[in-house]
Amino acid sequence: MGNSVPSLCETSCGTEFTSTKSPSIQATYLRIEQPMSGCFHLSEIEMFVNRNDFLQNKPWRSKDLVLRSNTASTSDPLLNILDQQWTTHYHNVCEQSTWIELQFPSPLFIYAVRIVNRTDCCYSRWNGMTIQLLDNQKNVLYRSQPFYDRTGSTRYQNGGVMPSFSTYGILYSTIFPPNPTVYTSPNTSPPYVWATGVDEKVYRCPAPCTNGEWEQIPGSLTQISVGTDDFVYGVNMNDNDRIVRCRKPCDTGQWETIPGKLVSINAKDPSISKWIWGTNRQNAVFRCPAPCSNGQWQQIKGSLKQVALGKQRNYGINTNNDIYRCDQPCGNSLWEVVPGKMSGLSTDNDAIQEMLYGVNPQQELWTCQGPCSDGRWEKRNIGTTQGFNNVDVGYQSWMYGMDSQNRIWRCQKPCTNGEWERVPGSLSFSSVSTE
């Protein structure tokens, strides 16, 4: 194809698995999603149908391939990702989250997929991107982990020219669908569902936790929150409101104390700025720039018991279950009232339009499209008579809820028909958070 991998990428720009213990995946569609709103670009997409073709660098080609996207730019057209030239690229219109879909002329066995980044600018715009393989009914057969840069970060940056591409950027990444881990770093950990027990023990389960494979890891927490950076964060109300963090995947439970005291924490900031948010016993609101190594907490105006973080705005609830919102970055902005009463909130930041999920005092699940100015909450079926205490919506394909008996349920997004199913296990949980 006339493209060779530059020396800067020969050893650290893609984990080239050669395992053949699992077969290829037969798919009709390949879909790429960048959930973050903003500029997005790719140089090339290459598919390999078997190991020999991959080792000989012979991508699969077809003139009957159908290519679609929800956003495109005429100056850098979508067809550039199939032109076999790594010096060209596709560029979106920089106004919304982006998906790209390739439809094969007939079901195709996929052994590997190679994604080539733009090299001259803005390498971190692919961070957080995922790849899916779909069948002819568009059921998801495989979904990759979010893409990383060389530091292991999934943090999206919509900036201009980024410094030191050879230090931070990744030129290409190759994924192998049958394998459980992917591409950019041999040390990249798989996504987990994280939870705390009513006994303050800490648990994790490989997402989407189909069989309830809960594993206890060292630590003692009353609430946990998975960061969009490289850490898991938590608080313990019964240990002097201690704040801690642990670098993913936190195998040895090496929790580091962060200066400060909080009773709730939220590390799922999808914005470029990346803040850790929390509230204390007096319902004061604080934020700290991730990863909050020195506890540089800044107090934000307002009195809230919980904060939910969105792409364009943040939401919060007070002790009276009143709902508020403020526009990002919420530094000195006023909190505006959102109609309704909720005891717990979460945001779906994968959605093109920001979606707010709330659990009301009657333990019912409701949704409202952001910014929810008119309070048009829509009730959702949750499939259990127990009701939900809280809900957590992550960046993977699933959302999770916890019922009044401290059991965890899951539902595949967008879960419009309430297809909730209970996650197996006999543990009793106090909080749940998913990557």
- What pTM value is reported for the model? 0.62
3-state secondary structure of 418: coil
Report the alpha-carbon distance of residue 433 to residue 267 in Å, rounded.
Answer: 10
What would the pLDDT profile of 120-157 be if each residue is shown by its tens digit? 777 788 888 888 999 999 988 888 878 876 666 677 87
What are the DSSP calls for 100-151, one per residue? EEEEEEEEEEESEEEEE--SSS-GGGGTT-EEEEE-TT--EEEEPPPP--TT
Ranges of each domain in the chain: 7-175, 192-434
- Residue 429: which H helix or E strand, with range? strand 429-434
What does the pLDDT profile of the chain (435 residues) look like in tens digits?
334 332 222 222 333 333 333 457 889 999 999 888 888 889 999 998 887 787 678 899 998 999 999 987 768 899 999 998 888 899 988 878 899 999 999 999 888 888 888 877 777 888 888 889 999 999 888 888 788 766 666 778 775 444 445 445 667 677 766 543 333 333 345 678 999 999 999 999 988 888 899 999 999 999 999 976 778 999 999 999 999 999 888 988 899 999 999 999 999 876 655 789 999 999 999 999 988 989 999 999 999 999 999 878 899 999 999 999 998 878 777 899 999 999 999 998 765 567 899 999 999 999 999 899 999 999 999 877 789 999 998 766 689 999 999 999 999 877 878 889 999 999 999 999 987
Max CA pair span of the chain = 64
Report the alpha-carbon distance of residue 186 to residue 188 in Å, rounded.
Answer: 6
Report the alpha-carbon distance of residue 16 to residue 55 in Å, rounded.
Answer: 10
Give the per-residue pLDDT at 219: 96
What would the pLDDT profile of 7-54 be if each residue is shown by its tens digit? 222 222 333 333 333 457 889 999 999 888 888 889 999 998 887 787
Q: Which residues of 389-406 are buried (b: 16+ CB within 10 A; e: fewer)?
A: bbbbbbbbebbbbbbeeb
Q: Which residue from 97, 109, 110, 101 is spatially nearest to 82, judged by alpha carbons?
A: 101
The β-bridge partners of 59 are: none
Centre a 10 Å sphere on the Cβ of residue 216 and count the other Cβ atoms it contains.
12
Give me 155's structure tokens: 């943090």
Four-residue CA torsion sign, 16, 124, 151, 287: negative
The topology under which CATH files domain 192-434 is Neuraminidase (2.120.10)
